[in-house]
A and B are shown apart, each in its own frame.
Chain A
C-alpha cells in the first residue's frame, strides 16, 4: 500500500531511504525492486512497532495515521535548531517505571574546559544514592552504587534495585583519586507494584482475591494495561490466582 508514494521518488531518494532502513541495495538494482524492498521493510517495521504496543496505544496511534503507516517526509526539519547543551552544570532524574529511571545532565562550558585540560582528571561517574524515608541532605543513603560514564555522555537509563525507596543521583568527577560532586538531582520514589496487605493480613482474603482475579484472569486484559512482571508477581508471590 506504500508503493505509489515510493514510486514518485527519484532513484537517489530511494537509495537514501533504503540506507535509512538499513537495506543493502545491489548496484544497478531496478527501481521496482528497491521500491519493493523498502515497502517490505516499512511494513515489517510497522508490524513490529505495533506488536510492542498495547491496544490502547495502537488505537491512539490511528488518530495520526493518515498515510497508512507510511511516514515518508523529506522536508527539512532543521529550521528550528536547538542548542546542543545549556551552559550549566545540572543533573535531572526522572522515574520511568518501578524499575527504571532516566537521567540527563549537562556540564557548563567552563567546567568542561577545566576538566578537559586537567591532566589529573580521571573520569566521570553517576552515583546513585538509595534512601529510605526522606530525601533530606542529612539522610544518609542506605545503599549506593556508581556507574562510569564517558565525558561525551549526557543521558543514562538506570535500573533501580528496590521499590518503595527514594533515589537521587550525583554527577561526580574523579580528579587524582579525589571525588568532586558536580551536580545532584532531586529525589524520586519508586512506587509499589504489588497489592498492599494490611499489617495483620498474611494473605489476600478470598472475596478480594476473587475481585482481583476478575480483572487479572483475562489474559489479554492483563497484558493490555499491566506489566507482565507485575502479573507474575501477583500470581506467584501474592495471589496465586491461577493455581
Chain B
C-alpha cells in the first residue's frame, strides 16, 4: 500500500462573452488572456511532460460556455487578430526597451517568444481549436475531462426549479459529449455549491461524482469517518470529494501562498497603464481606455511602488523550488494522516485553472514541476496521482453520508451570489424560469420558427443564470457589464415570451439574437416540459 492518493483538479471556466455587433469588445479579452496565459501554456506543459515521459494524471473540468467560445469561429479569428496585434506591439517593445529601457529587454524578448509560440500552437498545431489538445491528452490517459452546469449557475439558488436544474445538467452533458467525444463521468458543481438533493439530478444523468467544499463534507450526516480525506457516497450512490484546505492553502493563501513570492511576475503593473497614450493607444481599448496588454515587466518585489525588473529565470527556479516544497509537505501530510486513518488518505486539491498563468504567471511551470516531483518514486514515496474515477474503481466501498449545504465562496454558503448588490436578479430570473416552463407546456412539440424561438428562449434563461454575473456585482469588477448581461438575457427572453403569446415572432430580431448567443447547439426547449425526464438519450 502506498502513502495515499492525490487528486489534482483544475476547473476551467469563463462566462459566454461574444459580441459580433462590435468590432472590438473589451470583455472578450477575458478569453484571450486566459488562452494566452493559461490554456495554451498548460497544453505546452502537458506536451513537455509527455516528451519527458513523466507520468501525470489530473481532472480538468471545462465549462460548456468555455467550450462554446473555444469552438466559435468568430472568437477564434478574433484571438488570432489579438495575437497579431500583440506581436506587432512586441516588435515595438523590443525597439523601445533596446533604446530606452534595456533592463526590461530580456522580458520583452520573452513576451515576443510567448506570443509567437501561442500563435503557432493556436493556428497551426490546434487549427484554432485547442479542445483538440485536451482531447488528445484525455485519449492518452492523462486527463479526465468533466463538465459543470451549462451556464455555470449557482445551483442552490435554483432549488425550487427542478426542470431548470435538469436543463443545466442535460445541456452541459450534451455539449460536453458533442465537443469532447466522451460522456462526463463526474461534475464540477459550480462554486462547489451543494444543496441536499443535488445528487438526485446527478444520478439521473449518469454522473458518478462531484466536488464539495471542506465543510460540506465535514458537516455531513452521519459524521464522515475520514474527514475530507476520503470521499463519501450519498445514499443514492453519488460520490462527494471534499476539498482539502490544508493542501490548497499553500497555493491560495494571500500572505503565504507561493504566488505571492517577490520574484514572481507582478499582475498589476502593465505597460497598458504606464506608457504614454500616443505610444500605447493602438494596443488598448478604443485608443484611450487603458487596459492590461499582457506586457508586464515588474516582479512583485514587495509592498512598494518601486518594483524590481522581472527576472524569468529566477522566477522559474523559484517555481521549481515551490513545487518541491509542495510535494515535500504533501508527503509529510500523508504521513501524519496515515497515523490516524485505517485507509490510505486521499488529498483532493481543486483550483480554478485560470489561477495558473493568468494570475500566477509561473503557475504552469509549478504544475509541471509538481508532476515531475510526484513522478519521482523516491521523492514521492508512493503517492498515486488519481482522478475520482480511478479512486472509485480501486476503492468501491466508501462510507455513505449526505453532505451539508455549502460552497467554496466567502463564508462558505451563498453569501457571494445572494447579497444586497445582486439579489435583485433572482426575482426576474425565477419568473423567467416559470415562464419558460409555461411555454414548454403550451407549445409541447413545435417545429420550424416557433421551435427556434423556444430554443432561443431556453438559451436566454440559462445564460441569465451564470454565477459570474452576481459574483461580479458582489466583488465589484466590471459591474455595469454584469448588470447589462443579466438584463439583456431577461429582456431577450421576455421579448420571445411576449411574441409567442401574441403569435408574432419577429424573424429578423430572433435571427440576430440567435446568431449572437449561438451556444448550446443541442438545446431542446422540451427539457422544460414537466412530463419529460430526458430529451437527449
Q: Which of B214, B354, B411 has the most CB of A within 10 A?
A: B411
Are the C-beta atoms of B480 and A59 separated by less than 8 Å?
A: no
A56 touches which of B34, B352, B427, B494 (Cβ 8 Å): B352
Are the C-beta atoms of B226 and A71 separated by less than 8 Å?
A: no
Check A63/B34 contact, CB under 8 A, given A55-B254, A95-B156, A193-B219. Answer: yes
Are the C-beta atoms of A4 and B273 separated by less than 8 Å?
A: yes
Check A214/B246 contact, CB under 8 A, given A57-B410, A97-B413, A226-B412. Answer: yes
Are the C-beta atoms of B355 and A59 separated by less than 8 Å?
A: yes
Residues in A whose Cβ lies below 8 Å from that of B27: 64, 66
Nearest neighbor of B219 in chain A, beta-carbon distance: A192
CA distance A52 to B421 in the complex (A): 14
Residue interface bits A205-232, CB-to-B below 8 A is 1, else 0: 0011011101100101110111100100
B26 touches which of A66, A97, A198 (Cβ 8 Å): A66
A53 within 8 A of B: yes
Are the C-beta atoms of A225 and B221 separated by less than 8 Å?
A: no
B412 touches which of A65, A82, A225 (Cβ 8 Å): A225
Residues in B whose Cβ lies below 8 Å from that of A12: none
Residues in A whose Cβ lies below 8 Å from that of B412: 97, 225-227, 230
A230 touches which of B30, B215, B426, B484 (Cβ 8 Å): B215
CA distance A204 to B427 in the complex (A): 43
Are the C-beta atoms of A193 and B267 separated by less than 8 Å?
A: no
B535 within 8 A of A: no
Check A5/B289 contact, CB under 8 A, given A77-B483, A92-B160. Answer: yes
Are the C-beta atoms of B410 and A52 separated by less than 8 Å?
A: yes
Are the C-beta atoms of B409 and A214 separated by less than 8 Å?
A: no
CA distance A224 to B72 in the complex (A): 36
Nearest neighbor of B430 in chain A, beta-carbon distance: A92
Check A211/B487 contact, CB under 8 A, given A55-B253, A63-B358, A191-B196. Answer: no
Chain A interface, number of residues (Cβ within 8 angstroms): 73
Residue interface bits B303-343, CB-to-A below 8 A is 1, else 0: 00000000000000000000000000000010011011100
Within 8 A of B (CB), among A32-71: 45-46, 49, 52-71
A214 touches which of B26, B225, B227 (Cβ 8 Å): B227
B494 nearest CB across to chain A (Å): 8
Are the C-beta atoms of B215 and A225 separated by less than 8 Å?
A: yes
Residues in B whose Cβ lies below 8 Å from that of A5: 289-290
Check A96/B252 contact, CB under 8 A, given A56-B409, A221-B245. Answer: no
A132 within 8 A of B: no
Are the C-beta atoms of B475 and A94 separated by less than 8 Å?
A: no
Looking at A23-31, A98-106, A107-115, A170-178, the stretch in contact with chain B turns out to be A98-106
B478 within 8 A of A: yes
CA distance A218 to B27 in the complex (A): 37
Nearest neighbor of B156 in chain A, beta-carbon distance: A95
B261 nearest CB across to chain A (Å): 15
Are the C-beta atoms of B270 and A224 separated by less than 8 Å?
A: no
Check A86/B480 contact, CB under 8 A, given A56-B409, A191-B404, A214-B336. Answer: no
Are the C-beta atoms of A211 and B488 separated by less than 8 Å?
A: no
Residues in B whose Cβ lies below 8 Å from that of A67: 289-292, 477-478
B288 within 8 A of A: yes
CA distance A73 to B26 in the complex (A): 11
Are the C-beta atoms of A192 and B245 separated by less than 8 Å?
A: no
B521 within 8 A of A: no
Chain A residues packing against B (C-beta within 8 Å): 1, 4-5, 8, 45-46, 49, 52-71, 73, 75, 77, 80-83, 86, 92, 94-98, 102, 104, 106, 154-155, 186, 189, 191-198, 204, 207-208, 210-212, 214-215, 218, 220-222, 224-227, 230
The 10 closest A-B pairs by CB, nearest first: A97-B413, A221-B245, A80-B487, A80-B491, A191-B405, A211-B227, A73-B480, A207-B340, A55-B252, A62-B359
With A62-B359, A92-B160 already in contact, 16 other A-B pairs whose C-beta atoms are closer than 8 Å = A1-B269, A8-B289, A49-B476, A54-B411, A55-B252, A55-B257, A57-B410, A62-B358, A63-B354, A64-B477, A66-B26, A71-B477, A83-B494, A154-B427, A211-B341, A226-B412
Chain B residues packing against A (C-beta within 8 Å): 14, 26-27, 29-30, 33-34, 156-157, 160, 195-196, 213-215, 218-223, 225-229, 243-246, 248-249, 252-257, 267-270, 273, 277, 288-292, 333, 336-337, 339-341, 352, 354-355, 358-359, 404-406, 408-416, 418, 423-424, 426-428, 430-431, 468, 471-472, 475-481, 483-484, 487-488, 490-491, 494
Residue contacts A-B, CB under 8 angstroms, 24 given: A1-B269, A4-B273, A53-B410, A57-B409, A59-B252, A60-B352, A63-B354, A64-B472, A66-B478, A68-B270, A80-B491, A82-B487, A83-B428, A96-B414, A106-B427, A207-B341, A215-B228, A220-B255, A221-B248, A224-B253, A225-B408, A226-B412, A227-B411, A230-B215
